[in-house]
Each structure stands twice: as structure tokens, then as C-alpha cells.
Amino acid sequence: MFSVVDWLAKVCPDHVDQVIEALAALVANSHVERYEYLSQSDLIRAMLVEGRNGSTATIQRVEEVVSFLASIGQTSYLDLVPPVAVTPMVG
């Protein structure tokens, strides 16, 4: 995974939509050890930040990746997703 993440980070500025799509598939892959997310967190964060400037679909995919990572304990990316406004129930 190390060389894949390195390469994705390198090409991300020019191909952000495709990189985020590949990153989403990579982190959801059950054959990738979760400890690798910790060791590549700076590069993954950089890609996710760049992805916030992508297409609407890419921004949604960034949010999905962040959500998935948080669900496995990698909560350090949650600041990349804007909070959802909750309307209180009246009545």
C-alpha cells in the first residue's frame, strides 16, 4: 500500500477525482491492513484535503472515506467534513 499511496499523493493535484475514487476503494479493501492508514496519515490527509476541491461526487466520496475511517477508529480526519446542522424537534 505504501507505494500506491505515495503515487496517489503525487498525482493527486492533477487527477483529484480519480485519486479520491482509488483511495476510497483502497481503504475499503478488506485485504489492506488497517495499521497502514496510521503510517500514511499525512499523505491520506493531503489527498482528502485536495479532494474537497474536486467535483460534487468527489466531495461526497471524501466524506464517505472520512466516515469509513472514523468507523474503524481513525477519527483524526473528521475535521475535514463540515458538521451537519441538526434541527431540533419541536412538539
Residue 32, domain member (yes or no) = yes
The rounded percent of the chain whose pLDDT value lies above 90 is: 67
The reply to whether 27 falls in a domain is yes
How many whole angstroms separate alpha carbon 91 and alpha carbon 72?
36
In a domain, 87, yes or no: no
Higher model confidence: residue 68 or residue 87? 68
Mean pLDDT of 20-30: 93
Give residue 20's pLDDT. Answer: 98
Residue 91 clears pLDDT 70, i.e. is over it: no
Q: What is the pTM of this model?
A: 0.86
**70-88 pLDDT, tens digit each:** 998 899 999 999 887 777 7
Give me the number of domains the chain comprises.
1
